Amino acid sequence: MNFIEQLPRFVFFTGKGGVGKTSLACATAVRLADAGRRVLLVSTDPASNVGQVFGIDIGNHVTAVSAVPNLWAMEIDPQAAAQGYRDRIVGPVRGVLPADVVKGIEEQLSGACTTEIAAFDEFTGLLTDEVLIARFEHVIFDTAPTGHTIRLLQLPGAWNSFLEAGKGDASCLGPLAGLEKQRAQYKAAVDALADPARTRLVLVARAQGSALREVARTHDELARIGLARQYLVINGVMPEGEAAHDPLAAAIVRREQAALAALPDILRGLPMDSLPLKAFDLVGLEALRRFFDEAPSAAAAAVEPVGPLAAPTLAQLVDGLAEPGHGLIMVMGKGGVGKTTLAAAIAVELARRGLPVHLTTSDPAAHLTDTLAGQMAQLTVSRIDPQIETQRYRDQVLASKGKGLDAQGRALLEEDLRSPCTEEIAVFQAFSRAIREAGRKFVVMDTAPTGHTLLLLDATGAYHREIERQMSGSGVHFTTPMMQLQDEARTKVLIATLAEDTPVREAALLQGDLRRAGIEPWAWVINNCVAATAVTSPLLRARAAKELPFIDAVASRHASRYAVVPLLAQEPVGIARLLALAGAAP
């Protein structure tokens, strides 16, 4: 395995959601620790499940994995990091400055921007803390899905450039006295990330056209910011031997081989490894230690066939979604569960029925046009592009607030708008526009993977609380985006998952987070379900049997309504296949 040979101190696993980054990072960490290396495993994903993989509570501090000598782990918790960041800034001035000034500072530090900066500070600290680094021979980062990770890796350079150009403006980074330390820390982080002797980036993908195209884009974007030394791992490849047992397995082998044969040219020069699909869930120490064992699983051949699965279909859910004639439909869940495909299938079926539909995405790495591969009447498609939205917001602020300023004032305003925090505000505004549009048509939103979506909802909640505070006692009626999300008559949230341990557990946690925000999910969708097909391949039969308890958990404990979408022989790309997926005749 090329990617694990002569590893430098820092290793990043990144890629599209659901490709197995966490499994690969955890298995690599265990292998190194078993070989006697002192290893720190860090998750930068706001919806981390590293603790679930090991079956322990980890949290926002370095924690020993007791079952594995030489291994420690840490999950960067954005909320805990944000609270610590606020305490460091507000603590020294509490009791010194007037109470109303302190309250104003606290309000300024309550948004999603502060959450991102705080988590980012912890990330750069891990790259530059010499005392911490000296304790470990390797620091392995299990990152959030691609779009979120690219932003994280770009931020050291973005903040460093902003500080260099800021002429002392503290912006939203905190007191002026802290800027010099942050400037030095961010520059050191940039240097560490760009040095192949210290940092290795491992791009993880599946043998699927969409995943490989995204990895190619990721490679290009990271290379442009100086992170060119990359390795490629193709994970979860269907073993060719399974094709002899089963038409579905044979179809999957053919489409995976075709995707690998069409590997984008930009990736062909990278060192590449391939890892086969497993018959077991990669949860628990035993499974992690078996991860790199390429021998066929003896357990797979002994599994009895699963009988036909009787479960509601996606077509039945669409009937209920279509009934009001308009509204917001949000598809949420862990990366890699097929949110983009499900959102597109629902949108094209609603449009087929003659209903006006706007299909959009808040995922920085999503590409809806690749999934649709065509156009149809009544359907418009868009993407909340962070760069476009940020430029639109800057132009809007300069045209309004900058209108009456002199040259010096306008220059200061332009400096402030160069802050990377501006992007969070701009994306929230675009999200709010999409919510408002749902009052007159269907807006189907493919959301970013869980952690990134929760940060966006945090911004929505913070805005709602601020409007509520300002309007309190005024007697004026108002509606905020959060109020619309909480109204099931206007918004229906679908939670997408797979019939596997980690996706179902994370979907349940997401449901809990949504309920605490006053948002009740409308339905769950179990996607790519092997148990909903008739299979004879020993490997697929073993996977189908392992799905049954998780399907039962969704149906009996988690969801008020649900649907099951089977694993398909052909990828659901193109309008005809999406219509078939949603229950209409192709």
Q: Pick the catalytic residue from 18, 111, 174, 333.
A: 18
* pLDDT surpasses 60 at 233: yes
Asked if residue 373 and residue 285 are part of one domain, the reply reads: no
* Strand duo 71-75 + 63-64: pairing: antiparallel
Band of residue 34 on the pLDDT scale cut at 50, 70, 90:
very high
Active site residue 18: yes
Asked if residue 285 and residue 359 are part of one domain, the reply reads: no
Asked if residue 510 and residue 392 are part of one domain, the reply reads: yes
Q: Pick the catalytic residue from 14, 15, 23, 111.
A: 23
Band of residue 21 on the pLDDT scale cut at 50, 70, 90:
confident
pLDDT at 586: 35
Asked if residue 531 and residue 421 are part of one domain, the reply reads: yes
pLDDT at 154: 55
* Domain final residue pick, 221, 254, 289: 289
Tokens of 394: 């800057």
Q: Pick the catalytic residue from 20, 111, 166, 333.
A: 20
Top pLDDT among 144 and 426 is at 426
pLDDT at 110: 61
pLDDT at 509: 85
Asked if residue 125 and residue 55 are part of one domain, the reply reads: yes
Band of residue 127 on the pLDDT scale cut at 50, 70, 90:
confident
**How many domains does the chain contain in total?**
2
Top pLDDT among 409 and 113 is at 409
Active site residue 402: no
Q: What angle do CA 52, 58, 62 make, to 5 degrees?
A: 145
Asked if residue 345 and residue 285 are part of one domain, the reply reads: no
Query: Is 240 a member of any domain?
Result: no
Q: Give the residue-averaged pLDDT of 195-223.
A: 85
Q: Give the residue-averaged pLDDT of 212-233.
A: 82
Q: What is the phi/psi pair of residue 283, to 5°?
A: -130, 130
Q: What is the phi/psi pair of residue 385, to 5°?
A: -85, 115
Q: Give the residue-averaged pLDDT of 254-259.
A: 93
Q: Could you tell me if 231 and 1 are in contact, meaning their C-beta atoms sit under 8 angstroms apart?
A: no
| Of 390, 380, 389, 383, the residue nearest 355 (C-alpha) | 380
Query: Is 228 a member of any domain?
Result: no
- Euclidean distance between CA atoms 452 and 50, whole angstroms: 17
Q: Which pLDDT tens digit goes with each residue over 305-338?
A: 666 688 899 999 999 999 999 999 999 888 788 8
| Of 306, 303, 457, 445, the residue nearest 363 (C-alpha) | 445
Q: Pick the catalytic residue from 22, 128, 143, 460.
A: 22
Of 82-86, 249-253, 579-583, minimum mean pLDDT range: 82-86
Share of the chain above pLDDT 70, in %: 78
The enclosing domain of 176 has a CATH number of: 3.40.50.300
Q: Pick the catalytic residue from 45, 77, 246, 363.
A: 45
Asked if residue 388 and residue 327 are part of one domain, the reply reads: yes
Classified as helix, coil or strand, 453 is helix
Query: Is 308 a member of any domain?
Result: no
Q: Which pLDDT tens digit goes with each residue over 63-113?
A: 888 889 999 988 877 677 777 777 777 777 777 777 777 776 666 666 555
Asked if residue 367 and residue 408 are part of one domain, the reply reads: yes
pLDDT at 562: 96
Query: Is 472 a member of any domain?
Result: yes
Mean predicted lDDT score pLDDT of the chain = 79
Active site residue 269: no
Q: Which pLDDT tens digit goes with each residue over 441-486?
A: 999 988 875 545 555 565 565 655 565 565 566 565 555 667 777 8
pLDDT at 472: 62
* pLDDT surpasses 70 at 301: no
The whole domain housing 118 covers: 8-205+281-289
Q: Pick the catalytic residue from 48, 341, 422, 502.
A: 502
Asked if residue 27 and residue 163 are part of one domain, the reply reads: yes
Q: Give the residue-averaged pLDDT of 290-300.
A: 61
Query: Is 306 a member of any domain?
Result: no
Q: Give the residue-averaged pLDDT of 210-228.
A: 81
Query: Is 586 a member of any domain?
Result: no
Q: Could you tell me if 385 and 400 are in contact, meaning their C-beta atoms sit under 8 angstroms apart?
A: no
Band of residue 124 on the pLDDT scale cut at 50, 70, 90:
confident
Active site residue 450: no
Q: Pick the catalytic residue from 15, 17, 21, 446.
A: 21
* pLDDT surpasses 60 at 126: yes
Q: Which pLDDT tens digit goes with each residue over 171-189?
A: 444 433 344 556 677 677 7
Q: What is the pTM of this model?
A: 0.74
Asked if residue 331 and residue 196 are part of one domain, the reply reads: no
Q: Give the residue-averaged pLDDT of 264-278.
A: 90
Longest Cα–Cα distance of the chain, Å, equals 78
Active site residue 45: yes
Of 4-13, 31-40, 469-478, minimum mean pLDDT range: 469-478
Q: Give the residue-averaged pLDDT of 207-211.
A: 85
Tokens of 227: 């992170």
DSSP of 192-220, one letter per residue?
A: HHH-TTTEEEEEEE-SSHHHHHHHHHHHH
Q: Which pLDDT tens digit goes with each residue over 533-578?
A: 888 888 898 899 999 999 999 999 999 999 999 998 888 889 999 9
Query: Is 302 a member of any domain?
Result: no
Query: Is 258 a member of any domain?
Result: no
Q: Which pLDDT tens digit goes with each residue over 150-167?
A: 455 555 455 555 555 554
